[in-house]
Each structure stands twice: as structure tokens, then as C-alpha cells.
């Protein structure tokens, strides 16, 4: 072979080595292979690592709102929804009267809580993570992401499902377990109004939503919880650097997924995530969810900054606050 040919082969080999090295280094940073045995769980570990992100906040903050902790406090909420409940107290009072706030004893009694937050991303498709996901103490799911038909990839266990009215599944009993906690994330006052009319069987209001939520929603009120807006506040402030008071036309806010990770870091001692991450901006045809054919274009006008959220999650992965079961 001529010298020029050897040089070309050498250059190709070098390029291949660099590409493999980059791929491996990237995966090692943001991918955590499933261990054959349970990873050791240390009480308070997630809180300790999360303090690098959120500061020394306390776990004394209740996860779910309840009347006795909320309406008799001396310092009322400073912010309107979604970062506080200022101006929505009357609606919230009626909702808290018919819902619950407790964390199941099966979770409370654990010496160390192993949790996984299951995102809705395309990376879960054909992942075969279902059995691994089912082994966690707490499995947190998002919005209307289905389980039925996808058990092999996403599992079948659901401890909590975070949702808002427009993302509530029309048939919640199909996609959840009988004891699943349905956790309302309130973005606006109408969200409280919706849950009250549903659970009290009052006249439904059809206006005030960007998408029609269910008008009939067959759930047990005792399984419904109201998420403390504190978690939305610290996710926005500490992870995304968003101002708490924004012009009405902007209204940037964290996604339900980032909020769920924030909640898990507060509740759990070990936090893993799966199915997070969006396609590259130039990949316009790649679907963003494992269960439906919609692309990144659907995020336009949502008020979510997916690039900023990706940086926040990478920061969590870098400091070991969370570990990833899928590629990010």
C-alpha cells in the first residue's frame, strides 16, 4: 500500500478512537448501568447531595398540603400559583377538606427509601427496564404516561403520579394501581376549581384550560394529594434561576418531570431517573415520548425551557444527586 494510503487509514483509525472515547466518556457521565444487586442505600444521602443544589433547606417542609399545617401558619404564601397559593386560599380550603395528605406507612416506615422517577422520554422504548423499575420502593410517574401495554419497558408499579388537569388521564384506574397517590400540581387557580368540581360532583367549568381536562374522573378522593408549591418554587429558583414574579405573557415554569425529581430528592434517600432528555433541536422528526408520535415542536409555547432543564439535570448527575438508568 502506498504511504498516502497508510496515512488515510491512520487518520480514519484516529477519528474512530476519538469517537469511541467521546461516546464512552459521555455515557459514563450520564448513564448508570443497572446493578445486579441493590445499590447500597444510606439514609439522608440524597438530601446531603441535593444541598449543593438547593442550599440547606429542611425536610420539615410538608410534601403535601394539609389544612392544619397550612391555614394556621403565621406567614401566608408570598407568591401566586404555581410558586405559592396567594389569592387561591378559599379554593384550596375546599379542596383540602375533601382530599388527604398522608404518606403511606409502607413508605414512612422504610429506613432508607429507594426511588425512581420515570420520565416520558423516547429513550424508554425497547429499554426492557420494567422489572428493574418495579423493584424500587417508590416509583414516581408523570402526567398521562401509559403503563398498560408498555410494562416491559416502564414497569407496572406506580406509587405516585404527578399531574395537572390538562394532563390527567381520562381513565386513571387503567394506568395506576389501586393505592397510587394522585398528586395534583397546581399551575393556576382553575386547577383547584377543577379538582373540587370533579371530586364533589359539582357543575364543571370548561373554560380556563389550554386543553380540555376530563369532565368525569373516576378516582377515590382519599388517593388525591395536593403538592406543596414549595417544590415548584425551589425547582424554578435554584435549578432554573427563574424569577418568582414574571410578566403574564412569559410565565416560564419547570416541567412536571423536573418537579418530580425535586420532590424525590426531598422524600427519598436514593434517587434514580429513567426516560429523561429530549432529542437534539435539529432532530425535528424524533418523537419525544415513548408512547405517542409527537415531536419537539409540540413544546413551543409551553413555557418550558428544555435546554436549561437539561443543564440542571446534568448538574444533578455530575454531583451524584441522581443516577440515570437511561442515556441522557
Distance CA 189, CA 165 (A): 11
With H, G, I as helix, E, B as strand and everything else as coil, classify residue 118.
strand
Distance CA 107, CA 84 (A): 27
Burial of 2 (0-12, 13-18, 19+ CB in 10 A): exposed
Does residue 118 have a pLDDT over 70?
A: yes
Range with lowest mean pLDDT among 107-116, 128-137, 211-220, 246-255: 246-255
Question: Which range in 50-64, 254-268, 275-289 is most confidently predicted, on average pLDDT?
Answer: 254-268
Quick one: what percent of the chain has pLDDT higher than 90? 65
Distance CA 245, CA 120 (A): 29
Distance CA 172, CA 155 (A): 16
Give the predicted TM-score (pTM) of the model. 0.87
Does residue 110 have a pLDDT over 80?
A: yes
> pLDDT tens, 128-154?
999 999 999 999 999 999 999 999 999
pLDDT mean over 97-119 = 96
Give residue 294's pLDDT band: very low, low, confident or very high (50, 70, 90): confident
- Residue 248 has what pLDDT? 64
Burial of 211 (0-12, 13-18, 19+ CB in 10 A): exposed
CATH of 41-324, one of 3.40.50.740, 3.90.1480.20, 3.40.640.10, 3.40.50.300: 3.90.1480.20
Distance CA 124, CA 142 (A): 14
* Mean pLDDT for the chain overall: 86
Give residue 257's pLDDT band: very low, low, confident or very high (50, 70, 90): very high
Amino acid at each position: 500500500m502506498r504511504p498516502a494510503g497508510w496515512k488515510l487509514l491512520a487518520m480514519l483509525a484516529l477519528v474512530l478512537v476519538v469517537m469511541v472515547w467521546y461516546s464512552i466518556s459521555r455515557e459514563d457521565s450520564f448513564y448508570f448501568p443497572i446493578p445486579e444487586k441493590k445499590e447500597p442505600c444510606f439514609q439522608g444521602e440524597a438530601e446531603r447531595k441535593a444541598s449543593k443544589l438547593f442550599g440547606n433547606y429542611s425536610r420539615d417542609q410538608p410534601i403535601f398540603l394539609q389544612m392544619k399545617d397550612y391555614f394556621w401558619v403565621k406567614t401566608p404564601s408570598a407568591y401566586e400559583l404555581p410558586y405559592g397559593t396567594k389569592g387561591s386560599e378559599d379554593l384550596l380550603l375546599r379542596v383540602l377538606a375533601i382530599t388527604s395528605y398522608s404518606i403511606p406507612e409502607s413508605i414512612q416506615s422504610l429506613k432508607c427509601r429507594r426511588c425512581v422517577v420515570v420520565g416520558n422520554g423516547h429513550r424508554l422504548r425497547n429499554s426492557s427496564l420494567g422489572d428493574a423499575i418495579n423493584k424500587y420502593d417508590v416509583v414516581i410517574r408523570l402526567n398521562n404516561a401509559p403503563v398498560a401495554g408498555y410494562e416491559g419497558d416502564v414497569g407496572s408499579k406506580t406509587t405516585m403520579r404527578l399531574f395537572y388537569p390538562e394532563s390527567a388521564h381520562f381513565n386513571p384506574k387503567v394506568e395506576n394501581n389501586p393505592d397510587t397517590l394522585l398528586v395534583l400540581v397546581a399551575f393556576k387557580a382553575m386547577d383547584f376549581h377543577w379538582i373540587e368540581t370533579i371530586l364533589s360532583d359539582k357543575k364543571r367549568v370548561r373554560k380556563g384550560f389550554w386543553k380540555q381536562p376530563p369532565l368525569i374522573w373516576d378516582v377515590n378522593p382519599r388517593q388525591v394529594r395536593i403538592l406543596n408549591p414549595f417544590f415548584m418554587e425551589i425547582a424554578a429558583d435554584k435549578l432554573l434561576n427563574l424569577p418568582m414574579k414574571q410578566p403574564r405573557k412569559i410565565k416560564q415554569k419547570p416541567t412536571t418531570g423536573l418537579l418530580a425529581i425535586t420532590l424525590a430528592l426531598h422524600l427519598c434517600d436514593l434517587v434514580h431517573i429513567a426516560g429523561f432528555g429530549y432529542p437534539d433541536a435539529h432532530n425535528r422528526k424524533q418523537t419525544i415520548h415513548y408512547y405517542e408520535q409527537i415531536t419537539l415542536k409540540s413544546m413551543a409555547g409551553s413555557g418550558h425551557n428544555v435546554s436549561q432543564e437539561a443543564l440542571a439535570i446534568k448538574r444533578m448527575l455530575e454531583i451524584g444527586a441522581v443516577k440515570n438508568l437511561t442515556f441522557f
